[in-house]
């Protein structure tokens, strides 16, 4: 073989080798991009930056065990806490929340009654007991009439989340423990729908949260125990927070498809119990007071696109 042909052969071989290296590099870069994309989906709750609250309010000692919230107007949040069957209207002052009003809606001699969440429909408030019942407080600002609604759920289900669904006009109830479904795994969690007009629980779950779906998105085996639920005012996506074992939040479409999953900062939200949105889509999460620290409500804003 002549020197001329040998030179051309070596030159062409170097071009082919370089192309193969570049292709492999591009593939690796693409793989990294795919991994990064999944990390973004896992580490962000939709379009919310959960690591940087835009506002926070320290709560008074009476609400150290705050367990449910609902935003009722620009400056006020309606809240409940574990110990007493009482509605608390909170005024959101700068840096601190003060109690503007209280309405007791049930007489009990128990030191802890386990009221877990609250929802508002018009002038009526609904308070959820962990044993499955819902207390309807008609004209709640005055507490004129109270009715206990039996849902068929009970202590084994450990009902902890309650939210008004503007799409159906009904209430969603999140079970922290047993789903009540015989053919589901013990790790499955269920959200049920209470028909407001008939005051009856619909037999089929509105949403079933499967651990395999959470694992597929997060890459981890997640122990999910719903402690609060809220529905986005614009997208009607369903947001469910978990506080036992894993502090996290899952976002579902209204038809039940898992859209995002995020771990919550346990130093910021040591025991997240309540969740709510305002009409603009700002997100609010309450966390109980622990280890001598007060309870807080945090506001999280939308990430600018």
Element (H, E) at 30: helix 3-43
How confident is residue 302, by pLDDT bands cut at 50, 70 and 90?
A: confident
Residue 305 maps to a domain? no
Both 59 and 115 in one domain: the answer is: yes
Query: Which domain does 11 fall in, by range?
Result: 1-43
Both 107 and 16 in one domain: the answer is: no
The two three-digit tokens of residue 240, written as one number: 């469910």
pLDDT of residue 181: 83
Both 260 and 114 in one domain: the answer is: yes
Residue 59 to residue 89: CA distance in whole angstroms: 12
Residue 285 to residue 19: CA distance in whole angstroms: 52
Both 283 and 136 in one domain: the answer is: yes
Both 239 and 183 in one domain: the answer is: yes
> Which backbone phi and psi does 38 adopt, to 5 degrees?
-65, -35
Residue 123 to residue 138: CA distance in whole angstroms: 7
pLDDT of residue 3: 46
Q: How many residues does the chain have?
A: 305
User: What pTM, to 2 d.p., does this model score?
Assistant: 0.84
pLDDT, one tens digit per residue, over 34-63 is: 222 332 333 334 579 898 999 999 999 999
pLDDT, one tens digit per residue, over 87-127 is: 999 999 988 999 999 999 998 888 888 999 999 999 999 99
- C-alpha R_g of the chain: 25
What CATH number does the domain containing 245 carry?
Answer: 2.120.10.30
Residue 239 maps to a domain? yes
Whether the Cβ atoms of residue 84 and residue 115 lie closer than 8 Å to each other: yes
CA separation, residue 219 to residues 83, 126, 258 (Å)? 37, 37, 14
Mean pLDDT of 125-145: 93
pLDDT, one tens digit per residue, over 226-268 is: 999 999 999 999 999 999 888 999 999 999 999 999 999 999 9
Q: Evaluate if residue 291 carries a pLDDT over 80.
A: yes
CA separation, residue 50 to residues 41, 44, 96, 269, 294 (Å)? 13, 7, 20, 10, 20
Residue 267 to residue 146: CA distance in whole angstroms: 38
Element (H, E) at 298: strand 296-300
CA separation, residue 276 to residues 160, 184, 261 (Å)? 14, 29, 17
Both 125 and 227 in one domain: the answer is: yes
Both 240 and 259 in one domain: the answer is: yes
Residue 272 maps to a domain? yes
Both 61 and 142 in one domain: the answer is: yes
Both 103 and 70 in one domain: the answer is: yes
pLDDT, one tens digit per residue, over 165-202 is: 999 999 999 999 999 887 678 899 999 999 999 999 99
How many percent of the chain have pLDDT more than 70? Answer: 84
pLDDT of residue 162: 98
Structural domain tally of the chain?
2
The two three-digit tokens of residue 13, written as one number: 């071989």
Helix axis angle, 3-43 to 211-218, nearest 10°: 140
pLDDT of residue 219: 93
């Amino acid at each position: 073989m002549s020197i001329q042909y040998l030179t051309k052969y070596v030159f062409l071989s170097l071009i082919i080798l370089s192309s193969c290296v570049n292709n492999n590099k591009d593939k690796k870069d693409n793989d990294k991009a795919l991994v990064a994309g999944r990390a973004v989906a896992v580490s962000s709750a939709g379009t919310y930056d959960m690591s940087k609250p835009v506002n926070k309010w320290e709560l008074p000692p009476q609400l150290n065990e705050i367990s449910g919230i609902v935003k009722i107007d620009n400056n006020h949040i309606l809240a409940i806490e574990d110990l007493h069957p009482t509605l608390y209207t909170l005024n959101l002052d700068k840096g601190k929340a003060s109690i503007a009003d209280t309405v007791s809606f049930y007489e009990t001699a128990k030191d802890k009654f386990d009221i877990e969440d609250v929802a508002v429909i018009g002038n009526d408030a609904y308070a959820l007991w962990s044993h499955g019942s819902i207390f309807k407080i008609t004209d709640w600002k005055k507490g004129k009439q109270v009715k206990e609604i039996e849902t068929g759920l009970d202590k084994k289900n450990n009902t902890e989340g309650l939210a008004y669904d503007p799409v159906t006009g009904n209430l969603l109830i999140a079970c922290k423990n047993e789903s009540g479904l015989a053919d589901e795994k013990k790790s499955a969690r269920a959200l049920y729908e209470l028909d407001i007009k008939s005051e009856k629980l619909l037999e089929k779950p509105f949403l079933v949260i499967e651990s395999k779906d959470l694992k597929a998105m997060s890459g981890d085996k997640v122990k999910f125990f719903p402690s609060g639920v809220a529905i986005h005012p614009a997208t009607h996506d369903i947001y469910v927070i978990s506080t036992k074992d894993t502090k996290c939040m899952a976002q579902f479409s209204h038809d039940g498809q898992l859209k995002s999953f995020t771990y919550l900062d346990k130093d910021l939200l040591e025991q997240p119990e309540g969740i709510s949105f305002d009409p603009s889509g700002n997100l609010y999460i309450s966390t109980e007071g622990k280890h001598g620290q007060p309870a807080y409500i945090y506001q999280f804003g939308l990430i600018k696109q």
